[in-house]
């Protein structure tokens, strides 16, 4: 399977591409510093968590703008950083995608101001718990199951797209890049929680 065939690289010649575009020691230092920093941030932010409630609700002490930023950060992936510029600079591309960004901002503001206080007040940890409270456990399990299926498929695409640049930079096979990325992501998420 080729990636950007017009640029002359593919999965098969990723090691050759990586060797021809080798990263300098400073590049590696920046990447290593970022990875260590992001894990340290997760450890630091997760230090006061003692329960599932703390993990999912951030200790109930986050300001609304912090919750909004956390939601946006959760929904922003490498697919956003790789896909949006590709859409903009492709032949016939335009700034039409920017309207989604405005929708994100407005939607997240409404969620943070209207829904988050309700979640905190009623000890609700997820939208699925809200659905369960309103419509019963059958609806809760159905919604959660559908989200798990859709979320798993979407996460697979996001992880794969994220690992294409890793593969090209490091010359590794995609499986190794995926294992590195997923491993670091699991550590950061498991420790950090909502914060």
> What are the start-end ranges of the H helices in the chain?
14-20, 25-45, 52-57, 64-75, 78-89, 98-110, 116-122, 127-135, 137-170, 174-192
pLDDT tens digits, residue range 86-143?
777 777 777 777 787 788 788 878 887 888 788 878 878 788 888 998 899 999 999 9
- The pLDDT of residue 129 is 87
Q: How many CA atoms lie within 13 A of 195 on its CB side?
A: 23
**Structure tokens that stand for 159 in this block:** 């992880």
Asked if 70 and 194 touch (Cβ cutoff 8 Å), the reply is yes
DSSP state of 126: S
Instruction: Determine the Cα–Cα distance for residues 35 and 17; give it in Å rounded to an integer.
Output: 23
**Structure tokens that stand for 100 in this block:** 């989604």
Instruction: Determine the Cα–Cα distance for residues 42 and 44; give it in Å rounded to an integer.
Output: 5
Instruction: Determine the Cα–Cα distance for residues 22 and 94; give it in Å rounded to an integer.
Output: 33
10 beta partners: 2
* Residue 145 reports pLDDT greater than 90: yes
* Residue 23 reports pLDDT greater than 70: yes
Q: Is 77 helix (H, G, I), strand (E, B) or coil?
A: coil
């Amino acid at each position: 399977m080729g990636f950007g065939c017009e640029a002359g690289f593919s999965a098969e010649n990723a090691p050759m591409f990586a060797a021809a575009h080798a990263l300098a020691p400073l590049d590696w230092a920046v990447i290593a510093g970022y990875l260590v920093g992001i894990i340290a941030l997760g450890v630091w932010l997760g230090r006061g968590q003692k329960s599932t409630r703390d993990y999912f609700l951030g200790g109930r002490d986050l300001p609304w703008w912090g919750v909004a930023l956390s939601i946006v950060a959760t929904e922003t992936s490498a697919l956003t950083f790789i896909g949006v510029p590709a859409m903009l600079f492709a032949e016939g591309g335009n700034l039409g995608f920017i309207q989604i960004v405005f929708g994100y901002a407005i939607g997240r503001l409404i969620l943070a101001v209207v829904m988050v206080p309700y979640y905190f007040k009623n000890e609700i940890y997820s939208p699925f718990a809200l659905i369960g409270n309103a419509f019963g456990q059958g609806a809760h399990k159905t919604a959660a199951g559908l989200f798990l299926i859709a979320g798993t498929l979407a996460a697979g695409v996001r992880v794969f797209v994220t690992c294409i640049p890793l593969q090209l930079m490091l010359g590794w096979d995609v499986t190794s890049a995926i294992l590195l990325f997923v491993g670091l992501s699991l550590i950061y998420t498991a420790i950090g929680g909502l914060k």
